[in-house]
Amino acid sequence: MAVIIETVFESAVTETNKDTYTGSYIEDRKTVIEFDMRKKDWQKILKTESGINWYKKTYRVDVHEFSTFHSPIIYRFIMARGYYLGTDGSRKYFTPEPSEVSTHHHMSRNIIRLACFLAVICGVSLRNIALIYSSLFQVPVSRSCIKRWIDEIGSGLCEKDILRKIRILKEPSECHIDAYYPLGTDRCVMVIKDDYDRILITHETDSENGEEAGIFLQKLKDFGLNIKFAFSDYSKSFTSAIQEVFPEAKFQADHFHTAKNIWKHLKKALPEYRRR
């Protein structure tokens, strides 16, 4: 005897497209949640008094979603090309676009956002992200797909716009400048973080010399930031650049490098003490 277990499922996609929901069912061991985009009030959305006409030929777009069920979750959108009459009597064509999904990547935007967050903020490798998605959330995705998502999102970002939005949330008054050499490259990446542990801006260069550090900090000043406290290691390139660009800022060596230098001297002192 078959046993049917009903459960409630809610997401950003089901919430924003609830007026087009038509039902759900199991197909090929997948949970399919179906929407018909023709059911939306397109007259209101398109701001027209003309009736909406649809072509008879329809097609479907399947989009993956995070799943903690025994089966993967698929959003199925029934689509068709539509048209309405403009004020001049001519036909205006349009294609419905579902909310909170990427019909290009066939993924919900939550999937894309989390992948980029794990890669950029948490530093998780693309291979491990793909493994997490397939094993925990039943989302089939490759490393190359995740790389394309990151590149596409990054291409539309502007340093000045990002910094402006960060400042709206909380205005930074402190900055910590440091330099890194990412694995697989000889290039140096300078990074400035604020007192809320947010990355404000990055700068890629050949080496961490004082001239490059000065250019980097000057860009921060040109964007309108008033830095009152600055932190870095004991590198002269950073200390001199801070004093030149933000002369009124109070400088302090960061805790990490201070503790590191203390520990280095202790390790030298211990063998010397044993020898004596």
Pairwise pLDDT comparison (184 vs 274), residue with the higher score: 274
Helix (H, G, I), strand (E, B) or coil at 28: coil
C-alpha 26, offset from chain centre: 32
The model's confidence at residue 1, banded by pLDDT at 50, 70 and 90, is low
Output the pTM of the full model. 0.64
118 pLDDT more than 80: yes
| Alpha-carbon span 20 to 16, nearest angstrom | 9
| Alpha-carbon span 29 to 159, nearest angstrom | 45
By percentage, how much of the chain surpasses pLDDT 70?
Answer: 97
pLDDT at 4: 64
pLDDT at 82: 92
- Name the E strands within 9-156: 21-27, 30-36, 53-65, 73-85, 91-94, 101-102, 107-108
**CATH number among 3.40.50.10240, 3.30.420.10, 2.60.120.40, 3.40.50.1360, domain 159-261:** 3.30.420.10
> Which has the closest alpha carbon to 109: 66, 154, 59?
66
* Rg, the chain, Cα only: 27
Sign of CA dihedral 150, 153, 159, 161: negative
How do 91-94 and 73-85 pair as beta strands? antiparallel
Sign of CA dihedral 16, 19, 22, 23: positive
Q: What mean pLDDT, rounded, does the chain reach?
A: 85
Mean pLDDT to the nearest integer, 109-124: 87
Of 38-52, 176-190, 258-272, the one with minimum mean pLDDT is: 176-190
Pairwise pLDDT comparison (253 vs 137), residue with the higher score: 137
pLDDT at 3: 62
Sequence letter at residue 94: F
Mean pLDDT to the nearest integer, 169-180: 82
Number of separate helices (H) and strands (E) present in the chain: 9, 12
pLDDT at 36: 93
By percentage, how much of the chain surpasses pLDDT 90?
Answer: 24
pLDDT in tens, 37-69: 999 999 888 888 888 999 999 999 999 999 888
Q: Domain coordinates of the chain in residue numbers?
A: 12-150, 159-261
| Alpha-carbon span 24 to 156, nearest angstrom | 36
The model's confidence at residue 109, banded by pLDDT at 50, 70 and 90, is very high
pLDDT in tens, 202-254: 878 877 777 888 888 888 888 888 888 888 877 777 888 888 888 888 887 77
pLDDT at 5: 63
pLDDT at 129: 92
What is the number of other CB atoms lying within 10 angstroms of the CB of residue 14? Answer: 16
182 pLDDT more than 90: no
